[in-house]
A and B are shown apart, each in its own frame.
Chain A
Amino acid sequence: MSKNITPPVIEIGIIGWLRKNLFSTWYNTILTLIGLYFIYLIIPPLLSWIFFDATFSGTTRADCTSSGACWVFIKQNMKLIIYGLYPSDELWRVNIAYFLLTVSIVYLLVPNLKYKGVVGIFLLVIFPIICVFLFSGGLGLENVETRLWGGLFLTLVIAGVGIVLSLPIGIMLALGRRSKLPVVSLLSTIFIEVWRGVPLITVLFMASNMFPLFMPEGVNFDKLIRALIGVMFFSAAYLAEVVRGGLQAMPKGQYEASQAAGLTYWKMMALIILPQSLKVVIPAIIGSFIALFKDTTLVLIIGLFDFLGIIQFVGTNPDWLGFSHEGYVFAAAIFWVFCFGMSRYSQRLEKKLDTGN
């Protein structure tokens, strides 16, 4: 008797894979060939434009002589793209924040390190507080008005605040909507449905133009803060429904076992129900975060220059007219890196939290 039977050669290796996945029938073969043709049409010119025919060195538009992209445009405007109009002398403050953010995230991503909980709490609670003082001033630091904030920095501020604050608010709204107390449930439902029923653009317009009308004269609320509150509640309303979906997926037995053990409502939620139901909806939560991250670009319409907005803005500079392609491709690439990163992190988290049930 043979001990180790290997699969037939045709099933394995590159040839086997090709046969099975690309050339299994005559019509699949045709589709494969058409697909290859399109790849041939698109990829080589794109690569030439981005890399092979592109200009990387130089300082002015006169250096853009090649037929491909001219990345000098990005390079020369990098400071604007990353920091907006933040005063040059104060850039170190933003840099400290970038540095702390990067270090904490990298720390959290490296497997099997100790004190991840501490770093997580630092990132979610202490770091934002540090940022408030770093960015806007106070405690001896010079005041920097928010209208000077811009670029990637502003995008990360809006997305960061939105992500960090909207999840807890969303969880509270979801619990509120399922509450047995009619008033709590009704108020949560109204709140959720109102915010979900309005486009984000409208929310931002309202925050920027309508809100001041209702304020007593002389009271001036920072425009960025108004936008942040709008983005935060908008995202919270969506997350509330996502979380509610997770709560509904919980079997009744989990509630009963928690109650029978004597846990109070909040302990039951915090220790038993939420950890499980949030785990179920991680993909949807991260999906909402990704949507939020991309939606930050809408703040352009109320005159805040986020990452995409500032790229558009520098594209209208007479010195650099005609380089908007480079700008958009660069913006798309950076957005993609962030969103793809979040997506991968979501998958890792799911795997890590999997306990086999």
Chain B
Amino acid sequence: MTSETMIEMSSVHKWFGELHVLNDINLKVVKGEKIVICGPSGSGKSTLIRCINRLEEHQRGEIVVEGTELTNDNRSVEKIRGEVGMVFQQFNLFPHLSILDNCSLAPIWVRKLPKVEAREKAMKYLKRVQIDDQAHKYPAQLSGGQQQRAAIARALCMEPRIMLFDEPTSALDPEMIKEVLDVMVGLAEGGMTMLVVTHEMGFAKEVADKIIFMDEGQIVESKNPTDFFSNPENERTKTFLSQIL
């Protein structure tokens, strides 16, 4: 594996009012690395990945994504958003557009691809997540699992170098979680650099190169899966694992 650095966060701090949601975050992600972030709710894990594509602004420290530092300069933000795909807990598909249009919109309007090409690309990725037969339906006509897979395809259509997943299966019925996780595993096997906030420990065990445990805005544990599960050092990690496993 090459060790090209994709994301580097150094001494990142963020506050929501008085609340210190990110407290001295240092994180380096290399190309192809899969990182699973877990922790109790309110620990700052979503905020952390949302800082990477500037859905949240960090107030101190430095975030460099593929050599571009995130600043208030809109161009740096736009450049990074073009390279980073994101999948949300609530899917956030565009309900007024068909699945196909959901997928081809950003390639057409951001990447400036010709319409035909963008649609071909959209179909390719919809096929990959196995909902190409639903391409002409609207989001509301799909099940939750299908919607989330469409959302993954939408992100992939931008051919991002990094994918962020913010609790992608938390809003799904149990029987639909697997179909979404399968897609994510496939993506991981394809060599995508991924940051995944999730409580699916089976998934973490299977694909993660590194599991990060967060609590109160800090990274308190950062290990490979084997060590993380068999040999956690921090008390809070132990409590968390005992509750969730």
Contact = CB atoms under 8 A, between A and B. Distances in A.
Partners in one complex: yes
Interface of A: 251, 253-254, 256-264, 267, 271-272, 275-276, 279, 353, 355-357
A265 B45 CA distance: 27
Interface residues of B, number: 28
A355 B140 CA distance: 7
Contacts of A251: 90, 92
24 contacts: A251-B92, A254-B92, A254-B94, A256-B88, A257-B86, A257-B88, A257-B92, A258-B94, A259-B54, A259-B55, A260-B55, A260-B84, A260-B85, A261-B105, A262-B158, A263-B106, A263-B109, A264-B78, A267-B109, A272-B94, A275-B96, A353-B96, A355-B96, A356-B141
A166 to B, nearest CB: 24
Nearest to A272: B94
A264 B105 CA distance: 13
Contacts of A258: 94
Contacts of A271: 105, 109
A251 B88 CA distance: 13
B138 A357 contact: yes
B95 interface: yes
Interface of B: 53-55, 74, 78, 81-82, 84-86, 88, 90, 92-96, 105-106, 109-110, 138-141, 154-155, 158
Contacts of A267: 109-110
Nearest to A265: B74
Contacts of A253: 88, 90, 92
Contacts of B139: 355, 357
A149 B74 CA distance: 51
B53 A260 contact: yes
A262 B96 CA distance: 19
A264 B77 CA distance: 10
B138 A355 contact: yes
Contacts of A276: 94-96
A275 B95 CA distance: 10
Given A256-B92, A258-B94, A267-B109, 9 more contacts: A251-B90, A253-B88, A253-B92, A257-B86, A259-B54, A262-B81, A276-B94, A276-B95, A355-B138
B95 A261 contact: no
Nearest to A260: B86
B106 A262 contact: yes
A146 to B, nearest CB: 41
A259 B52 CA distance: 12
**Max chain B C-beta neighbours (<10 A), residue from A253, A261, A263, A275:** A261
A293 to B, nearest CB: 28
Contacts of B96: 275-276, 279, 353, 355, 357
B94 A257 contact: yes
Contacts of B74: 264
B21 to A, nearest CB: 17
Nearest 9 Cβ contacts at the A-B interface: A257-B92, A357-B95, A253-B92, A356-B140, A261-B106, A260-B86, A262-B81, A355-B138, A357-B140
A355 B158 contact: no
A355 to B, nearest CB: 4
A257 B110 contact: no
A259 B106 CA distance: 10
A267 B141 CA distance: 26
Contacts of B110: 261-263, 267
B81 A261 contact: yes
Contacts of B93: 257
A356 B137 CA distance: 10
Contacts of B158: 261-262
B73 to A, nearest CB: 14
